[in-house]
Chain A
Amino acid sequence: MKILLRTPLIALLLIFAPAIVTKAQDSRIQLSSLDHLAAKAKQTVDVNIDERLIRISTKFLSDDDADEKKIKEVVNGVKGIYVKSFEFDNDGEFSAADVETIRTQLRGPGWTRLVGVTSKKDGNLEVYLLLTGDKVAGLAVLHTDDRELTVVNIVGPVDLDKLAQLDGQLGIPDLGIEPQKPKAKKDEQ
């Protein structure tokens, strides 16, 4: 009887365990909770550059052409770039709860908020990295203003320089991201 009970349990665990592990390590955040904002936003931008498209880009784009090379370099190694951006006519058209649906995910295991990243634009900029061991597995940017909400999610290994390169490219809104450079050390004599 015990074996009979245990078998379906083991089967269930076998089915769901890989999914749970994948979910925990996946740096793709769910942005669909924001979709309802499109109904009242002055401008909604939704960019989806998934792994298929990145694979195509790296396969077909040439290193000989400057334009193609630049795009290839930017997307190389990345597994996905997802953006949702909303711009409103009036203040307060999105709620703290809307933003919280994103922040909750970024408080999950592995995510770390980066300090020292600023934006030339007004508003609040938050940058998060997903670390697996000592490697960066993903990045998320949350930019909020009274009339604007933007989330950028890059899946896969990425650094801040690459993020700054992507700013205003590939349909990603220009967030004016400026990674702060470390202060120059005084010459030791």
Chain B
Amino acid sequence: MKIKILIATLLFMFASIAVHAKDDDFKSVVKMIEQFYGVKHQGIPFLAKAGMKVATTAARIKGGEARRIAEAGSIKLAVFENQDFDGDFTKFRTSLNGALTATWMPLIQTLSATTQDQNYIFLREAGDKFNVLVITITSRDATVVQVNLSRKNLALLLKDPEGTGKSITEEATIIDQE
């Protein structure tokens, strides 16, 4: 009887750890960027006070026909502004893929040695929805966004991964401003 209880407890603990690890991928990515580049992400209130660039983006997007891609309330956002992202991006990419590819599917990655821009889109199944993780790094700024995506918008993402990834990032920054 004691053995059964022990096994059940251990199974529960392992399951909890696995779920916790899966849920914390967003935080892990943010921490990974901080450690690799020696930068610090800023909280949204701080950014709002600083009159950040995303506010301009938000205004620009609001002027046009903004289509909501992310599901309401599903957005996790971390922003890094006006910091130096100096480092070997190929090494960062290897670390990122190593950390995420067990649970996330790497859909598209675009990199530029000229501008040092990096864009990553990862996807995973979450019940009847999908989690999308969009990581954008430039030489001075970075954004990490995780959202839930509906089936309809999955088609949009697959059709145009790069464009939809950009829209997700822009949309996330707008919603956090509202």
Q: A69 → chain B, closest Cβ, in Å?
A: 9
State in angstroms the CA–CA spacing of A44 and B120 once bound together. Answer: 12
Taking a contact as CB atoms under 8 Å apart, the answer to whether B156 and A67 are in contact is yes
User: A61 to B159, Cβ gap below 8 A?
Assistant: no
Q: Are A71 and B107 interface neighbours, CB within 8 A?
A: no
Which A residues between 64 and 92 are near B, CB-CB below 8 angstroms?
A: 65, 67-68, 70-71, 75, 89
B110 CB within 8 Å of chain A? yes
> Is there an interface contact between B110 and A41, defined as CB atoms closer than 8 Å?
no
Known: A45-B108, A48-B107, A49-B107. A68 touches B114 (CB 8 A): no
Please name all residues of chain A whose beta carbon is closer than 8 Å to the beta carbon of B16 when the two chains form the complex. Answer: none
The reply to whether the CB of A171 lies closer than 8 angstroms to some CB of chain B is yes
Distance, CA A38 to CA B89, complexed state (A): 9
Given the interface pairs A61-B151, A65-B152, the reply to whether A71 lies near B158 with Cβ below 8 Å is yes
Range, interface on chain B: 20 to 34
Residues of A with C-beta under 8 A to B155: 57, 61, 65, 67-68, 71
Is A47 close to B, CB under 8 A? yes
Closest 4 CB pairs of A and B: A44-B111, A68-B155, A171-B161, A46-B109
Query: Residues of B at under 8 Å CB distance from A?
Result: 88-90, 93, 105-114, 123, 125, 128, 130, 151-152, 154-156, 158-162
15 contacts between A and B (CB under 8 A): A38-B89, A41-B112, A41-B113, A43-B114, A45-B108, A46-B108, A53-B107, A57-B154, A67-B155, A67-B156, A68-B151, A71-B155, A71-B159, A171-B108, A171-B160
Task: Beyond A46-B111, A47-B108, list 10 extra A-B contacts (CB 8 Å).
Answer: A41-B111, A42-B114, A43-B114, A46-B109, A48-B107, A53-B105, A61-B154, A62-B151, A67-B156, A171-B108
